[in-house]
Amino acid sequence: MESQRPRQIIALGGGGFSYRDPSPALGDYILGLAGTPRPKICFVPTAGRDSEVARLEFFHCLRDRARATDLALFSRTVNDLRGFLLDQDVIYVGGGNTANMLAIWRVHDVDAILREAWEAGIILAGVSAGGICWFEAGVTDSFGPELAPLLGGLGFLPGSFCPHYDSEPSRRPTYHRLVAAGFPPGYAADDGVGLHFVGTDLVQVISSTETGRAYRVEPREGATVDVPLVPRFLR
């Protein structure tokens, strides 16, 4: 599916369309990229087992800013997944279990449809698991209470991603240890911070808080370092 629209992904470390983010700034930023009043946005809550609570929270946070719908895969009601997803302006993926989400997507061919959507210029975005999934790899709690490496992401973006960098104390040391051991380097984002990619290039870091930070995390001279990325504060 060819398009003149750029391929765009916004990976959030936390926040977004959530009660835990008191600012609507990240959501407004994502919706604004669509370039149309009240864009069509689909919420994909697979990682949270199609949680009704997450669905209601998403719709409440959106209010009347967009024409919103959601895609359930545990109790599937949409026959034509391809047509449904390719009719959106924005596809937003919620948090939860990244590994389970990816497995379910692959059973339903959602992974292939999302690549087609990306290549068509439909904006892809998500938080936590919904941020990790676009990369080759990520730091996740999908496999139990301890953080662990996840490989086999969608791979639209190279490298790895670690969300919740400021709010979960074990995130930073785990990511550093993994990268030092040969895990793909990548990006880390605090809650309330997003990474905006056009194609596979990071073009902007955004934050809904004045203290939010993001980092390029990479090996250097036998150690793992956090290279700060200066965010644009969304007022």
Among 18, 142, 160, 164, which one carries the catalytic annotation?
164
108 flagged as catalytic = no
Cβ atoms 75, 108 nearer than 8 A: no
User: In the annotation, is 18 catalytic?
Assistant: no
Kindly provide the residue ranges of all beta strands, DSSP E only, lying in the chain, ordered along the sequence. Answer: 8-12, 40-44, 67-70, 90-93, 123-127, 135-140, 148-151, 157-162, 186-189, 193-198, 201-207, 214-220, 223-229, 232-233
The owner of tokens 């209601």 is 56
For residue 209, give the H/E element and its range: none
Residue of 18, 128, 160, 207 marked catalytic: 128
What distance in Å separates the CA atoms of residue 31 and residue 49, rounded to the nearest whole number?
A: 25
User: Residue 196 to residues 8, 96, 156: CA-CA distances in angstroms?
Assistant: 7, 21, 13
Give the tokens for residue 227. Answer: 């290279």
Sequential DSSP letters for 173-202: HHHHHHHHTTPPPEEEE-TTEEEEEETTEE
Residue with tokens 């700060």: 228
Q: What residues are labeled active site? A: 128, 164
